[in-house]
Amino acid sequence: MSLAYFWIVLLGCLSLSHAAPTIAPTVSPEDEGLAEGYLSRFYADVGVTNSSVRRIVNSSFSQDLQTMQAFFGLQVTGVLNNETVEVMKAPRCGVSDISRYGHFAGKPKWEKRLITYRITQYTQDLAQSQVDATIAQAFQLYSDIIPLDFKQVNSGTADIMILFEGGHHGDFYPFDGANGVLAHANSPGRGQGGDTHFDDDERWTLTQRGVNLLLVAAHEFGHALGLDHSRDRRALMYPNYHYVNTNGYRLPDDDKHGVQALYGSRTSVPTTAPKPQPPPGPDPGPEPEEPTEDPNPDPLPNPRHEQCSRDLVFDAATSIRGDMFFFKNGYYWRKSATAGGIRFTKVNTKWSQINSVDAAFEVPSKDVVYLFEGRQYWGIRAYAKTVISGFPKSLTNIGLPSSVSKVDAAVYVPTTRKILIFVNNQYWSYDEGRNQMDFGYPRFITQDFPGIGSKVDAAFENYGYLYFSNGPRQSEYDLQCKSVIRVLLNYGWLNCY
Ligand SMILES: [Zn+2]
Ligand SMILES: [Zn+2]
What are the boundaries of each domain within the chain? 11-98, 114-263, 303-493
Residue 40's pLDDT is: 67
Residue 1's pLDDT is: 29
| Per-residue pLDDT tens over the stretch 266-299 | 875 444 444 444 444 444 444 444 444 444 444 6
| Per-residue pLDDT tens over the stretch 172-224 | 788 888 887 899 888 898 888 999 999 999 999 999 999 999 999 999 999 99
Nearest ligand to the C-alpha of residue 237? 1
- 3-class DSSP string for 416-464: CCEEEEEECCEEEEEECCCCEECCCCCEEHHHHCCCCCCCCCEEEEECC
Centre of ligand 1 to C-alpha 77, Å, is 29
| Ion ligand 2 residue ranges (Cβ < 5 Å) | 171, 173, 197
The domain covering 303-493 belongs, at the CATH homologous superfamily level, to Hemopexin-like domain (2.110.10.10)
| Per-residue pLDDT tens over the stretch 423-466 | 999 999 999 999 999 988 999 998 899 889 889 999 999 888 89
- The amino acid at 150: F
Kindly report the CATH number that applies to the domain delimited by 11-98: 1.10.101.10
Q: CB of 405 within 8 A of CB of 374? A: yes
Nearest ligand to the C-alpha of residue 6? 2
Residue 120's pLDDT is: 97
Q: 70 burial class (0-12, 13-18, 19+ CB within 10 angstroms)?
A: exposed
Residue 73's pLDDT is: 60
Nearest ligand to the C-alpha of residue 4? 1
Matching CATH topology for 11-98 and 114-263?
no
Residue 215's pLDDT is: 95
- Per-residue b or e along 245-270, where b marks 16 or more CB atoms closer than 10 Å to that residue's CB: ebeebebbebbbbbbbbbbbbbeeee
Calculate mean pLDDT across residues 145-157. Answer: 96
| Ion ligand 1 residue ranges (Cβ < 5 Å) | 3, 5
**Would you say residue 256 has pLDDT above 50?**
yes
| Per-residue pLDDT tens over the stretch 360-395 | 999 999 999 999 999 999 999 999 899 999 999 999
Collapsing DSSP to helix, strand or coil, 120 comes out as strand
Centre of ligand 1 to C-alpha 184, Å, is 7
Query: What is the number of helices (H) and of strands (E) in the chain?
Result: 9, 26
Residue 3's pLDDT is: 34
Classify domain 114-263 by CATH architecture: 3-Layer(aba) Sandwich (3.40)
Centre of ligand 2 to C-alpha 466, Å, is 41
Centre of ligand 1 to C-alpha 365, Å, is 40
Residue 2's pLDDT is: 31
Residue 473's pLDDT is: 86
| Per-residue pLDDT tens over the stretch 66-76 | 776 765 566 77
DSSP E strand boundaries for 102-229: 102-103, 114-121, 149-152, 160-164, 183-185, 196-198, 204-205, 211-212, 227-228
Residue 75's pLDDT is: 79
Residue 38's pLDDT is: 67
Helix 29-42 to helix 82-89 angle (10° resolution) is 60
Residue 268's pLDDT is: 54
**Would you say residue 50 has pLDDT above 80?**
no
Nearest ligand to the C-alpha of residue 165? 2
Centre of ligand 1 to C-alpha 107, Å, is 16
Q: How confident is the model at residue 97 (pLDDT cuts 50, 70, 90)?
A: very low
Q: Which residues are catalytic?
A: 220
Centre of ligand 1 to C-alpha 15, Å, is 26
Other CB atoms within 10 Å distance of the CB of residue 173:
15
Calculate mean pLDDT across residues 149-157. Answer: 96
Calculate mean pLDDT across residues 24-37. Answer: 84
Mean pLDDT of the chain: 81
Cα 440 from Cα 277, distance rounded (Å) = 48
